[in-house]
Amino acid sequence: MKARAFTYVRARSLEEAVTRFGEADGEASYISGGQSLVPALALRLQAPAVIIDLAGIATLRGVMLEDGALRIGALTRHADVLTHPLIGAHAPLLREAAPHVAHPAIRNRGTIGGNIALADPASEFPAMLLAIDARVEIFGPAGFRQVPADDYFLDLYQTAAEPGEIVTAILVPPAPPGTVIAMDELARRRGDYAMVGAGLQGRFSTDRTVEALRIAFFSVGATPVRAKGAETAVIGNALDAVAIAKAQRALDDDLDPMDDEEVPAAMRRHLARVLLGRLLQRMRDKT
Amino acid sequence: MTAPVPVSLIVNGTEVSRLVAPRTTLADFLRFDLELTGTHTGCEMGACGACLVMMDGEAVHACLVFAVQAVGSRIETVEGLAERGAIADLQAAFHVRNALQCGFCTPGMLVTAHALLERVDEVPSREEIRDALSGNYCRCTGYEAIVDAVTAAAQTRCCGGARPADALQDEGVQP
Ligand SMILES: Cc1cc2nc3c(=O)[nH]c(=O)nc-3n(C[C@H](O)[C@H](O)[C@H](O)COP(=O)(O)OP(=O)(O)OC[C@H]3O[C@@H](n4cnc5c(N)ncnc54)[C@H](O)[C@@H]3O)c2cc1C
Ligand code: FES
Ligand code: FES
């Protein structure tokens, strides 16, 4: 199938992109890597009259340390997340997740900004942003603003960004020394969307008790989900079998997975428990 | 203004300029405007991998790029890779290992395998090869022979460049 005919605009600045979007009267879409938008156009799930390409906007590029935060430009591709030394050093959980995002050729075009803007609940990076306490920088007609990841993902494909606003960067507090991470997903085939997945970032004190921990799941509901009960169950404790079992039980209240024909809710709950157990053990083994 | 727009890019080393409708994918541009039909289209939504080409040195799905987005870029199709001999070893290994039947998926498989072997300095494990090929569908052959072929090509590439099929056969690699 083919996309409906559209007008193509190559924006040179954020201001130009937002203006052109406004002029299109609700009939426009931005495009970054196109790895989700082009299939949606081919299937006629979307048929905008105007497509505004963000790829030429220089300010959306680059990965740098700025004002004590790691700034990952929206056009940073999944393939760059895998290899960029600053991301490896300061946001290792993103690097850990990147090989699970689609297939190599899709990672060569797909961008982290497009991925976060789309906010697919089965996608890896949105949950990782929760686990690393990142902020999303957004540009719109009123200028720039920042939204903590905890407040950014609102509902199925719905985010705090309004139509016409552009995700410009992900801002990450650099992982402090001694940070321990774990990430994995249960998928039927490598590169497929996961049945359940999770990312964890934390710190242990010298007596090996859990000092800090953030746990975020994906593919368990309309948005990525913090497992706050499970976090509370282990913070301040050693990661022994008792604490891990307690965290697994807490997931019953943390998660409210959907039922679908492929994966019933009860199975997702089970898989989430299994995955959390493995990931906590993996963290313990690293300390 | 959904009218055709000018598109200039370098395809297999030659600069080409055409007027194309914005909705034309790079895959259709290559196949219909340039008659480079080695780039196949199956699903046209990023799932099957038949349409892979090299874009500025990296494998991408030509069905997931609009030709207008590729303005100024350097595209190499399976024809280009074959003509300059870059994948002669892979082609030979696919032949020797019986890694294709109808051949529909083969251009995409070759591009993926080529991109993988350009990226790694050692012979990749079967698991790494499977991971790299995870976005390529083959309806005929099953993947075992394809992984065999990529492994064989990797083994010869790593030890001093590509070698033709008869060299593979001399080493006891049976068709
Ligand atoms: C076969 C296949 C498998 C995949 N598997 C996975 C997977 O396992 N995990 C996963 O996470 N993803 C997967 N994806 C999706 C892929 O990762 C996409 O690249 C990504 O989600 C979207 O990024 P993009 O840059 O391509 O965005 P685009 O496709 O260009 O855009 C996506 C959406 O976001 C909007 N948009 C884009 N950029 C911005 C911006 N900066 N600001 C505001 N809005 C913007 C667009 O208008 C569009 O609605 C898969 C895709 C395919 C085709
Ligand atoms: S035709 Fe491009 S991936 Fe199937
Ligand atoms: S050889 Fe026929 S699809 Fe692969």
Tell me the DSSP string of B103-115: -SSHHHHHHHHHH
In short, whether B44's Cβ falls inside 6 Å of ligand 2 is yes
List the single residue in A55, A105, A191 with the smallest CB-CB distance to B52: A105
Higher-pLDDT residue of A154, B163: A154
d(CA A248, CA B105): 44
- Determine which of B7, B23, B39, B63 to mutate to test the interface with A (most A C-beta atoms within 10 Å): B23
User: Which residue from A55, A104, A189 is facing B69, i.e. has the nearest CB?
Assistant: A55
Mean pLDDT on A202-222: 95
- B31, B41, B60: best mutation site toward chain A, by most A Cβ within 10 Å? B60
* pLDDT above 90: percentage of residues in chain A: 92
Q: Do A191 and B135 touch (CB under 8 A)?
A: yes
Dihedral, CA of residue B103, residue B104, residue B105 and residue B110, to nearest 10: 50
pLDDT one-digit tens code per residue, A45-93 = 999 999 999 999 999 999 999 999 999 999 999 999 999 999 999 999 9
Task: Determine the Cα–Cα distance for residues A34 and A47; give it in Å rounded to an integer.
Answer: 14
What secondary structure does DSSP assign to A28-71, as a single string?
EEEESS-TTHHHHHHTTS---SEEEE-TT-GGG--EEEETTEEE
Q: How many CA atoms lie within 13 A of B104 on its CB side?
A: 10
Q: Which two tokens stand for residue A244?
A: 């891990």
Name, in order, each residue with C-beta under 8 angstroms of B87's C-beta and a sequence gap of 6 or more: B78, B81, B110, B113, B114
**Is residue A1 scored above 80 in pLDDT?**
no
CA distances to B62, B63, B125, B163, B165 from B108, rounded to whole Å, are: 10, 12, 20, 21, 20
Instruction: Give B169's pLDDT tier (boundaries 50, 70, 90).
Output: low
- Angle between helix B88-96 and B106-119 (nearest 10): 120
- E strand or H helix at A201: strand A196-204
Is the CB of A106 less than 8 angstroms away from the CB of B134?
no
Give residue B159's pLDDT band: very low, low, confident or very high (50, 70, 90). Answer: low
DSSP code, position A286: H
With contact defined as beta carbons under 8 Å apart, do B46 and B59 qualify? Answer: no
Give the pTM.
Answer: 0.95
Confirm if B112 and B128 have CB atoms less than 8 A apart: no
Q: In which band, very low, low, confident or very high, does the pLDDT at B175 lie, cut at 50, 70 and 90?
A: very low
Indicate the residue type of A277.
Answer: G
User: Are the Cβ atoms of A104 and B5 closer than 8 angstroms?
Assistant: no
Share of chain B above pLDDT 70, in %: 90
CA angle (A273, A275, A281) in 5-degree steps: 105
Which pLDDT does position A260 carry in this prediction? 85
Is 70 exceeded by the pLDDT of residue B165? no
